[in-house]
Amino acid sequence: MDRETLKARRRRQLLIVSGIAAVMVFPVVLVLSVVALAFYRATPAPVATSNAVLDQRFRAQEIDLPAQGAGAGTGKLTLNIALPGGYAFNGQAPFTLHVYNDQVVTVDNQANDLKITLPTMPVSVPIALKAGQTSLTMDSRVYYCEIVNENYCIPAQFRFVVPLTVTEGTGSADLQLAYQVQVPKPG
């Protein structure tokens, strides 16, 4: 075989090997992408069919926050979710917050279902409070990643429950809530 025929044969073999490698690698990348997309789509944004009925499809870690007291009226609900050192909010998957309305707590439908890509904490929504006692319930989806390795991200879903007492004519209708996220332990 002459030199040119040998070179052409090697190029064809290289193309075939490259094609096989691409076919072998591509499905793995595709499967990982589909799995990530399936997780994102399988956990729908927290939306209640009736604002007073908890969304049972929202699978979350339930977090009991300390009891709060407030005055009746309009104000704002402020939630500060602090991430552990070395982590930051993901700039591609949105942070979501849904507050469930009841006889005591009301968040206007247009202000509810907050969805923010790369949120800056704290976040706030306008709230109206009437005298009474309730368990203020909020669903939140948080995606956070290591700062040094942005490919290592953790999806988290929280259902915050806050015992709330609202009294007529006693103080502000503003609520300040905070939660410190803990990195899940491997296992």
CATH number of the structural domain spanning residue 96: 2.60.40
Is 10 domain-assigned? Answer: no
Tell me the residue range of the domain where 133 lies.
Answer: 43-180
Taking 50 as the threshold, does the pLDDT of residue 34 lie above it?
no
The yes-or-no verdict on residue 1 having pLDDT over 90 is no
Residue 34 lies in a domain: no
Cα 80–140–77 angle (5° rounding)? 45
Rounded Cα–Cα distance for residues 150 and 26 (Å): 22
Q: Which of 138, 137, 124 is nearest to 175 (CA)?
A: 124
Question: How many domains does one find in the chain?
Answer: 1
Predicted TM-score (pTM) of the model is 0.70
Percent of the chain with pLDDT over 70: 68
Q: Looking at residue 171, what is its pLDDT?
A: 86
Give pLDDT tens digits for 76-100. 999 999 999 999 999 999 999 999 9
DSSP-derived 3-state class of residue 21: helix
In a domain, 7, yes or no: no
Work out the average pLDDT over 28-49: 38
35 in a domain, yes or no?
no
